[in-house]
Structure formats: structure tokens, C-alpha cells
Chains A and B, each alone.
Chain A
Amino acid sequence: DGGITQSPKYLFRKEGQNVTLSCEQNLNHDAMYWYRQDPGQGLRLIYYSQIVNDFQKGDIAEGYSVSREKKESFPLTVTSAQKNPTAFYLCASSIGVRGAFFGQGTRLTVV
């Protein structure tokens, strides 16, 4: 089955710790995105990538980093510089007229 896989489903981060969220797609999509979702605020774009080895900051990139070494993979690292990382993180991919497809999300909690 083609789709987008995010892992883990739940992630706990200690203060000052960096954590990496995984996003893998086998849809052969060029573009990939990371969104953050907080209650009442909708989805906000963190980073996006149109092609391998290229990515752009979204609206709330501070405290996050990404890489795009392979077309299929777009991992997101939440660094210690992100002061309020508790949120639901969603990864998506898209290819032109077919629209965007989303993974099932990772819920990150600071402990």
C-alpha cells in the first residue's frame, strides 16, 4: 500500500533534549511538508521541501531542523531551542494536481 508513515506515534521529550520525528513516503511525491497542530490554532507550516537536498522555512521554523537526503524521507528534529514543543506533528507529501496526503501524526509531549 502506498502512503505516508510517521513514527513514533507518541514521543516524550525531556527538557533540553533533541528528538527526531520520522516521515517516510512511498508515493513518489516530490514535495514534503511538516505541520504543527495546536488546539484552536489549526495547522501551521514548519518546513517544506520541493526536491531532494532542498528545503525552505515555513511560518514557525525556529527551534526545528530538517533534512531531505532522499526523496522518500523528510525527518524533523525538534531541538532544545524550541521552548514549547508539546503539539501534534503532521507530515504530508504532494505532487501537483493529486493534492496532499498526510500521515497519522506524532504526538510530542515534554516531560
Chain B
Amino acid sequence: KQEVTQIPAALSVPEGENLVLNCSFTDSAIYNLQWFRQDPGKGLTSLLLIQSSQREQTSGRLNASLDKSSGRSTLYIAASQPGDSATYLCAQDGGGSNYKLTFGKGTLLTVNP
């Protein structure tokens, strides 16, 4: 059974700090690894997607990396802002006949002004 774990469960940082969110997965047969953002009471917004053949993806202040051998992905947020405050979730997709997404429980990020 696929399992995805996110550490830490919650993180509070001052504005301007660089930070790293961690995601670990047990199934090495990963297809996509996707990072999402969720604001309270809202749906999920896709941030970055890393295919199994890739090692990282970047979008603005966000950088996500994937290490299949160690079963880990990290989301790096540079120069954090109060508007970055949200819950961040990672999910893996096994592809093929196992395309369903398996989610971690998320990291609740608070960026203090």
C-alpha cells in the first residue's frame, strides 16, 4: 500500500525566511509527484508536478525536488511571505493501472509578518 508522509505537520516562520517542506513516499514505482496548496475552506491548487524521470521543477519562488532512490521530495520556498500561509500537500501517482493519487496529511505553514 502506498503511503505518503509529510514532515513537519506545522511550521511557523518569520517573513523573508527560506524554508523546506518534506515529503516521503514508500512506493518507488512513482509516476508523478505533485505539490498542492490549500487555503482554508478551499480546494487544492496545483503548485508543481515532477515526473518520475525528472529531478526538480521550479516556479517563481518555489522549487520542488524528487529523489526516487530515497523516496523523498522537498518543496523549497524562498523569501517567504505572509501570503504563502496555507496548507501544503504532496501526492504521488502510481500511473498505469495505479493512477490514483495518494496524499500526505499536509504541512500547515504560517508566515508571520
Contacts and interface: CB of A to CB of B under 8 A. Distances in A.
Given A92-B101, A94-B99, A107-B41, A42 B46 contact: no
B99 A102 contact: no
B79 interface: no
A25 to B, nearest CB: 13
Specify the main secondary structure of chain A where it touches its partner. strand
B99 A31 contact: yes
A74 to B, nearest CB: 14
A19 interface: no
B89 A42 contact: yes
A43 B32 CA distance: 17
A101 B100 contact: no
Nearest to B104: A42
Interface in B54-113: 89, 91, 93, 95, 99-106
Contact of A100 (B51, B91, B104, B105): B91
B32 A97 contact: yes
A2 interface: no
Contacts of A48: 99-100
B43 A58 contact: no
A45 B106 contact: no
Nearest to A41: B105
Contact of B43 (A41, A94, A96, A103): A103
B20 to A, nearest CB: 20
Contacts of A88: 41
Interface of A: 6, 31, 33, 35, 40-43, 45, 48, 50, 56, 58, 88, 90, 92, 94, 96-105, 107
Given A42-B89, A48-B99, A94-B99, 4 more contacts: A31-B99, A42-B103, A94-B93, A100-B46
Interface of B: 32, 34, 36, 41-46, 49, 51, 89, 91, 93, 95, 99-106
